[in-house]
Structure 1
């Protein structure tokens, strides 16, 4: 496909998950926020790649990284794997890294005021997209930076936080996550703690979206029994097609549909491939099979994208945000209509945010 064909096929994409702030704040290759304005070959998202691929914005995650670096990509190979997770991250370390990523986001907005805006609502996202600015919604992946008394939650919410993933796989004071295990079930242990139940209630009262990705199955059902908002998994796939602990069972998908929630398709190849391998040579048809399954199970209003850009190995045919039109074109070839492409591309996330924030 030539570049002209790709450009003509662009659908605006509002994406459910990226780790670009982690990349900007801590990568030795790309630590200067100013580098966001030009493509230097590293990173999945920068301004030129976003413009080329129709990346209109998304949930920008603040993920407190482990103290000891993990190289999980190389370990997710072979017929099976079960990776040990790091221990609980101390509050002060999680707070420091989260503030560093929040600072990176604020500096991005200052450096590129014509090109990017931090948004706090679906209304602000629509306004940013209408003026061709990347719409950035702040998200936490792993709530280790939030204290049990929620004083930090007040501060982060005031700064623009509108979405929280209770865990990033490792356990914390709020909940238990799933290990990186293949093949495996998401039913891996206990669910929410008392503090986690209180955090769900706090999120509901503030209109903060609760992300169920990385949470184990019991935690999923605990949230489902407590929350007044739709159930959401920003970057998870279909367990029936890839038996990773990170993926969602049919029963979980049915509960998400019943709540009028949304699942964002994760581009990480280990959660797409039937063999669970983290390999870039993954055909886009594998992604379409997951999308077909999700649409069948959730309906057309329940499916979106949750790329995991800058946080995982993605199919080489996409490569970066610049390659998003290739996935859209493959979906067109598979029979996806233009209205459905727009729903999956951005409309379903915006509608979900309106329903979530309307609960507050």
Structure 2
């Protein structure tokens, strides 16, 4: 099997929801969701970004939202900003849950690429603590505290506003140009993340926020789980202009597996085959080059394609790339090595 390092998953929410059985669903699985240790091992996944994310009262996975997204065009309003004091306990629980997984001896929270490679060589899963939406970070002192706790990747927003910037709505067809850019606090956050070498994730940001980070950041630009707007014109996807800006910085895009961000019709229905995923990969490679394309599944946070139903099926995508004519060394780059190279450039270790 070709090893896969994944740019985004929402598994920690399931661990928290399971309560006392949280580590149990990791070690043994519970028949739900997309991830657990047995399925990760079966699919050749060696690690990835494990997201801390604050749930709202409504989400794109609610029944009414799903029905709307199955019949484009649609434009779902952004949910309200979640106050810091409400967000912080959720974030603490999820960070603690990731630490609990580490105590099982099957996973390490890694903070360097040397540590990542050592963890993989020793047969454990390499987990990067990522925060998707910075509601739980009150100020820069708190950012330093989270960094000390292991945070090495941060998306300033999910698809709702924060004190730092504005996200894109779930809308199709739509441009990502949907509102204002970063706030003054958001610009300070970017500079401080650069200082701490925390990777900044552009996925979910609107276009103005994207442009602000591109102007401010001295690190390679990264979108951990996004797709191509020219193929699927969802507000969540990246335009060719944005892809070129990422390429100019030596950055990277992790291809999202979410069916509704891959399908040309934008419908929230399972992708029937992997052909359109390969079209997205071809387009990303054309603009970003062979060192700028990776994978970012969105496991446990989105509707998966039929042939990528969960982590155990990851080698189906590897085989599809092989059948499409990609060289073995290119498949290895897309599947894991490009992420590790990007992290080395960003973290400096």
The TM-score bracket by the shorter chain reads over 0.9
Residue 350 of structure 1 corresponds to 340
Cα distance per residue 1:325-348 (max 9 Å; x no partner): 001101100001110111001111
The structure-2 alpha-carbon separation of the partners of 1:118 and 1:174, relative to structure 1 and needing over 3 Å to count, comes to: same
- In structure 1, C-alpha distance between the alignment counterparts of 2:179 and 2:346, rounded to whole Å: 28
User: In structure 2, the residue corresponding to 1:14 is in which secondary structure?
Assistant: strand
| Structure 2 residue 183 is the aligned partner of structure 1 residue 193 | yes
Cα distance per residue 1:73-95 (max 9 Å; x no partner): 44311131111221010101111
Residue 76 of structure 2 corresponds to 83
Shift of the alpha carbon at 1:27?
5.4
| Structure 2 residue 261 is the aligned partner of structure 1 residue 271 | yes
- In structure 2, C-alpha distance between the alignment counterparts of 1:146 and 1:140, rounded to whole Å: 10
Q: Given that residues 131 and 153 in structure 2 are in contact (C-alpha distance below 8 angstroms), is that contact kept between their aligned partners in structure 1?
A: yes
Residue 14 of structure 1 corresponds to 5
Cα distance per residue 1:114-134 (max 9 Å; x no partner): x21110111111111111110
Describe how 1:57-76 pairs up with structure 2 within 5 A: 57-68=47-58, 71=62, 72-76=65-69
Residue 24 of structure 1 corresponds to 15
The structure-2 alpha-carbon separation of the partners of 1:33 and 1:174, relative to structure 1 and needing over 3 Å to count, comes to: same
- In structure 1, C-alpha distance between the alignment counterparts of 2:156 and 2:25, rounded to whole Å: 31
Q: TM-score, normalising length from structure 2?
A: 0.96
The structure-2 alpha-carbon separation of the partners of 1:236 and 1:316, relative to structure 1 and needing over 3 Å to count, comes to: same
| Structure 2 residue 308 is the aligned partner of structure 1 residue 318 | yes
Describe how 1:1-360 pairs up with structure 2 within 5 A: 10-26=1-17, 32-68=22-58, 71=62, 72-111=65-104, 113=105, 115-147=106-138, 149-358=139-348
Aligned residues: 346
Shift of the alpha carbon at 1:24?
1.4
- In structure 2, C-alpha distance between the alignment counterparts of 1:199 and 1:334, rounded to whole Å: 41
- In structure 2, C-alpha distance between the alignment counterparts of 1:265 and 1:68, rounded to whole Å: 25
- In structure 2, C-alpha distance between the alignment counterparts of 1:286 and 1:159, rounded to whole Å: 39
- In structure 2, C-alpha distance between the alignment counterparts of 1:57 and 1:204, rounded to whole Å: 24
Q: Given that residues 22 and 97 in structure 2 are in contact (C-alpha distance below 8 angstroms), is that contact kept between their aligned partners in structure 1?
A: no
Q: TM-score, normalising length from structure 1?
A: 0.94
- In structure 1, C-alpha distance between the alignment counterparts of 2:110 and 2:25, rounded to whole Å: 22
User: In structure 2, the residue corresponding to 1:56 is in which secondary structure?
Assistant: strand
Q: Given that residues 73 and 313 in structure 1 are in contact (C-alpha distance below 8 angstroms), is that contact kept between their aligned partners in structure 2?
A: no
In structure 1, stretches of 5+ residues that fail to align are 1-9
The structure-2 alpha-carbon separation of the partners of 1:67 and 1:343, relative to structure 1 and needing over 3 Å to count, comes to: same
Shift of the alpha carbon at 1:31?
5.2
The structure-2 alpha-carbon separation of the partners of 1:245 and 1:54, relative to structure 1 and needing over 3 Å to count, comes to: same
Worse-superposed segment, 127-136 or 37-46: 37-46
In structure 2, stretches of 5+ residues that fail to align are none
